[in-house]
Amino acid sequence: MPARRTIGVDLGGTKLLAGAVDPRLGVHHRVQRTVTGLRQRALLDVAVDAVAEARESAGAEVAAVGFGLPALIDRRTGKVVVGVHTPLANLVFADVMAERLGLPVFVDNDGNNSALAEHRAGAARGVSEAIVLTLGTGIGGGLILGGQLYRGARGGAGELGHMEIDFDGNLDDDNCPGRGCAEMFASGRALEREATRLAAERPDSGLARALATGRTLAGPLVTELAHDGDPAAIEAVELIGARLGVVITSLVNIFNPQVIVVGGGVIAAGELLLAPARAVVAARTFPFFSEELRILPARFGVEAGMIGAAALAYDGLAELEAAAR
């Protein structure tokens, strides 16, 4: 009989990714759903359905479910205080989902889960000081400090996308009262915005031709065009990479990490994104900080949040079993 498994669910601003995961963090079945524009009740229904599919195809007993949410979660109460890129708010998410699923449920911020996965078995494995950035609809983040996931006083640490980098910047447009937040400059939304601008400026570019056919210049398409050699698309990706370098520079100066891991959908651009980021960091930080720093793509790519959610469930089960002994 195969060892029991957990299901990890990464719930983002546009899609949900779930998977049945074994204790070695191998994924045995994947489920993806589009969640763009769904209200809270419909979103919960989609999550329940995705977990049910993953559970049915897990190939072993499923013992618990872990969720990663783009949200501020009060760890003292388990309540989703405010959702970011999601309608979830004022909801004791773990309790609600445990009742609906009939399984123990554990929940954390999606950036924390990505950091957990990459530190446990990915690009940050074996280091004590690491920062994980996930570039998707916005920017998620997780901090590994002293070898442990750092969650802060109430569980809200690691909202690195909401680090303000422009004093007079525009108001954030997603439940954040800040101005000039980092994710407005170096996220998937930012890439789409800059690609659309460049398409208008360069009517002969691949970006412009794609836009003229009615396609939206979302990150995957821009990345594809950049890899195909379209100069405008390459410029868009490199611009986001340079801005990412500014964000990383501040984080390096504050935390002095050994490794910065970059994941999320935008990392599909690979070195087109990371090379400009590394150049900016090298130029703007003291050599004391940067000479031993590594800036790496996430090993688990867009699945880091899902795998980390499953690892969170295994950790939660271990705590429950220890308390029962």
For residue 177, what is the domain's CATH number?
3.30.420.40
Question: The domain containing residue 309 runs over which residues?
Answer: 5-114+303-324
Q: Does the pLDDT at position 296 exceed 70?
A: yes
SS3 75: coil
Question: What's the start-to-end Cα distance of the chain, in Å?
Answer: 25
- For residue 179, give the amino acid letter: R
**Nearest residue to 129 (alpha-carbon basis) of 106, 145, 148, 105:** 145
Residue 145 included in any domain:
yes
- Claim to verify: residue 36 and residue 183 sit in the same structural domain: no
Count up the domains in the chain and report the number: 2
Domain membership flag for residue 107: yes
pLDDT for the residue 201: 97
CA distance 82 to 117: 24
Q: Please answer whether residues 195 and 217 qualify as being in contact, where contact means their C-beta atoms are separated by less than 8 angstroms.
A: yes
Residues 293 and 307 placed together within one structural domain of the fold:
no
Q: Rounded to the nearest 5°, which phi and psi values hold at 137?
A: -55, -45
Q: How far apart are CA 139 and CA 319, in angstroms?
A: 30
How do beta strands 259-263 and 130-135 pair? Answer: parallel
pLDDT for residue 179: 87
**Residue 50 placed within a domain:** yes
Residue 229 placed within a domain: yes
Quick check: is 119 in a domain? no
Q: Are residues 146 and 70 in the same domain?
A: no
Predicted confidence band of residue 1 (pLDDT cuts 50, 70, 90): very low
Helix axes 231-255 and 219-227, enclosed angle (nearest 10): 110
Residue 173 has pLDDT above 70, yes or no: no
Q: Is residue 120 part of a domain?
A: no
Confidence band of 325 (pLDDT split at 50, 70, 90)? confident
One domain, residues 99 and 224: no
Give the list of residues 6+ apart from residue 207 with CB closer than 8 angstroms, or none.
Answer: 195, 196, 198, 199, 217, 222, 225, 230, 232, 233, 236
Cα–Cα distance, 145 to 254 (Å, whole number):
12
Least confident of 71-85, 202-216, 261-275, 298-312: 71-85
My answer on whether 200 and 278 are in the same domain is yes
Residue 174 is predicted with a pLDDT of 65
254-270 per-position pLDDT tens digit: 999 999 999 988 999 99
The answer to whether residues 131 and 91 belong to one domain is no
Q: Are residues 183 and 278 in the same domain?
A: yes
The 10 Å Cβ neighbour count of residue 195 is: 31
User: Under 8 Å CB-to-CB from 196, ≥6 apart: which residues?
Assistant: 207, 211, 217
Q: Do the domain assignments include residue 18?
A: yes
pLDDT over 90 (residue 213) = yes
Same domain? For 285 and 315 the reply is no
Residue 188, domain member (yes or no): yes
Q: Which residues have a Cβ under 8 Å from the Cβ of 26 and sit 6 or more positions away?
A: none
Same domain, 180 and 255: yes
Q: Are residues 309 and 282 in the same domain?
A: no
Read off the pTM. Answer: 0.91
User: Cα torsion for 107, 112, 118, 120, to the nearest 10°?
Assistant: -60
In this predicted structure, the answer to whether residue 3 has a pLDDT above a threshold of 80 is no
Is residue 165 within 8 Å of residue 180, measured between CB atoms?
Answer: yes
pLDDT reading at 76 higher than 90? no
201 and 316 assigned to the same domain: no
Is residue 154 located within the same domain as residue 258? yes
How far from the centroid of its chain's Cα atoms is residue 13's Cα?
A: 10
